[in-house]
């Protein structure tokens, strides 16, 4: 059974943005990641979440969020949701200190006149940034326009803002709030926010209950996209986030499907003789790589999104599996035992030419996933009998071990490339773990009943 998971369309207009100020380094951004995972699964089936966190550091930037100017009751209701979500997004990152505001009469609108005295007043109040905004309701269309600006009060600079037109409603207000939060975060840190992202994952209740779930970044608006009595594995988002590729066993063997979330329509990408597995998207969204055994051994193939133009990429007699496109799409990383043990190699995504071995430490390295920035490659490695998550800097070849095992798997990068989520098995229970790419934050999440597996982090179209 499929469920329609279409999202509301929004009209955006971005005003001129002055040069960003970087007030934090990546270490400061780690707390955003912490907030995301602390609250991501909270609403799932209303079950309590067991959380273990280590290594949290934070630098808080003092910021004031002025209540957006409103006039009508509908604007007030919309503002209440905006305030709650934006404050929660910013405060729970640990990156911002939201300062209490003195009474504002009249309210601070987005189109207020700026002056040196205005900036000086707010700087004297201890703020480094101030957010001001206005809500305007169109009674005929029943839509609300949210306009706001981010002001760098420390340097007396207008960092710009957005004007977001949306329908009224709780989910619409939450979506706008995430977009506002993203803009604030990027304006003040220089790093893309990811409040307006989402996660796909599989909840397994028992051997006959597998549910593909989609959730907004803060855990709200969670909804099932597919329910099955057979396993669903290897989730992979399209680059823009409108489709999911995955492997389903509903036909009695592994078959690759592409699921368009807006209408719930599913199409078969690969259903050849033998196994069809491990789909992954090219960065431009026009090609998928996957693994077929139709010729006897596991080999990497590519095709267009409709399954046509099938092309074999690897041709060695070894087992070649688990492809992942490089950030620029020119290479495919994959796992192969052609050297005698599972190691990671790369090959031209067009096929032909020689493969290049990437990993050399230890006898087991597998499940490669290339980061969206092009600088990192994550994979599963085995140390002292434990399967753990590693990350390699492709420029310096420096490797870091990011997890402790004993059975970690399926790493997936955040869209901004600064964090990873992956599956873990702890004392027989399947959970999700999270780690920053510098290894400073580690988080484990689990449900009281049911197992969580196969996470995939994606964009919202």
Return the CATH number at 404: 2.120.10.30
Predicted pLDDT at 30:
42
185 and 219 belong to one structural domain: no
* % of the chain exceeding 70 in pLDDT: 84
Residue where one domain finishes, among candidates 163, 189, 215: 189
Residue 41 lies in a domain: no
Mean pLDDT score of the chain = 85
304 and 266 belong to one structural domain: yes
Residue where one domain finishes, among candidates 189, 206, 235: 189
Q: How far apart are the C-alpha atoms of 386 and 366, rounded to whole Å?
A: 13
Domain count, the chain: 2
pTM: 0.81
Residue 233 lies in a domain: yes
E strands, 229-342, in order: 232-237, 243-248, 255-260, 265-270, 276-281, 287-292, 299-304, 311-312, 320-325, 331-336
122 and 253 belong to one structural domain: no
184 and 208 belong to one structural domain: no
Best CA proximity match to 422, nearest among 409, 439, 403, 405 = 409
223 and 272 belong to one structural domain: yes
Predicted pLDDT at 445:
64
Encoded tokens for 446: 């689990």
Radius of gyration of the chain (CA): 23
Residue 88 lies in a domain: yes
Greatest mean pLDDT among 47-51, 136-140, 154-158, 189-193 = 154-158
- Distance set, CA 59 to CA 14, 100, 189, 228 (Å): 28, 18, 11, 45
Domain extent for 447: 197-459
Residue where one domain finishes, among candidates 165, 189, 213: 189
155 and 252 belong to one structural domain: no
Tally: H helices and E strands in the chain: 4, 31
Least confident window among 155-159, 207-211, 358-362, 428-432 = 428-432
Q: Is the pLDDT of residue 405 over 80?
A: yes
- 3-state helix/strand/coil string of 23-52: CCCHHHHHHHHHHHHHHHCCCHHHCCEEEE
Residue 350 lies in a domain: yes
Predicted pLDDT at 419:
83
Choice between 299 and 27, residue whose per-residue pLDDT is larger: 299
278 and 298 belong to one structural domain: yes
């Amino acid at each position: 059974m499929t469920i329609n998971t279409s999202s509301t369309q929004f009209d955006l207009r971005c005003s001129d943005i002055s040069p960003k100020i970087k007030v934090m380094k990546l270490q400061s951004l780690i707390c955003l990641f912490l907030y995301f995972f602390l609250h991501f699964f909270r609403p799932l089936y209303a079950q309590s979440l067991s959380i273990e966190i280590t290594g949290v550091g934070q630098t808080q930037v003092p910021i004031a969020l002025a209540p957006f100017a409103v006039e009508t009751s509908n604007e007030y209701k919309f503002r209440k949701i905006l305030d709650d979500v934006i404050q929660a997004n910013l405060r729970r990152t640990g990156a911002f200190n939201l300062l209490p505001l003195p009474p504002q009469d009249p309210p601070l609108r987005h189109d207020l006149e700026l002056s040196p005295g205005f900036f000086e007043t707010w700087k004297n109040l201890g703020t480094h940034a101030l957010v001001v905004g206005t809500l305007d309701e169109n009674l005929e269309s029943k839509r609300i326009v949210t306009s706001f600006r981010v002001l760098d009060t420390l340097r007396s600079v207008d960092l710009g803002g957005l004007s977001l037109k949306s329908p009224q409603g709780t989910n619409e207000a939450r979506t706008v709030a995430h977009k506002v939060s993203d803009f604030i975060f990027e304006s003040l840190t220089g790093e893309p926010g990811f409040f307006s992202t989402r996660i796909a994952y599989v909840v397994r209740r028992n051997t006959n209950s597998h549910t593909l779930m989609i959730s907004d970044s803060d855990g709200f608006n969670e909804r099932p996209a597919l329910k099955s009595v057979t396993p669903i594995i290897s989730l992979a988002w399209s680059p823009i986030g409108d489709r999911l590729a995955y492997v389903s066993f509903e036909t009695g063997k592994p078959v690759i499907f592409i699921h368009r979330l807006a209408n719930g329509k599913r199409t078969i990408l690969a259903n050849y003789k033998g196994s069809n597995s491990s789909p992954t998207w090219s960065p431009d969204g026009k090609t998928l790589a996957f693994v077929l055994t139709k010729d006897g051994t596991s080999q990497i193939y590519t095709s267009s999104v409709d399954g046509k133009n099938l092309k074999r990429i690897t041709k060695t007699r070894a087992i070649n599996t688990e492809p992942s496109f490089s950030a620029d799409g020119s290479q495919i990383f994959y796992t192969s035992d052609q050297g005698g043990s599972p190691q990671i190699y790369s090959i031209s995504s067009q096929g032909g030419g020689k493969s290049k071995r990437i990993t050399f430490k230890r006898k087991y390295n597998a499940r490669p996933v290339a980061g969206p920035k092009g600088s990192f490659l994550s994979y599963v490695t085995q140390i002292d009998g434990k399967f753990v998550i590693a990350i390699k800097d492709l420029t310096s070849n420096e490797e870091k071990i990011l997890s402790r095992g004993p059975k970690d798997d399926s790493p997936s990068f955040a869209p901004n490339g600064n964090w990873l989520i992956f599956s873990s098995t702890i004392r027989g229970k399947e959970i999700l773990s999270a780690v920053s790419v510098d290894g400073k934050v580690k988080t484990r999440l689990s449900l009281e009943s049911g197992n969580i597996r196969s996470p995939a982090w994606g964009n919202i179209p």
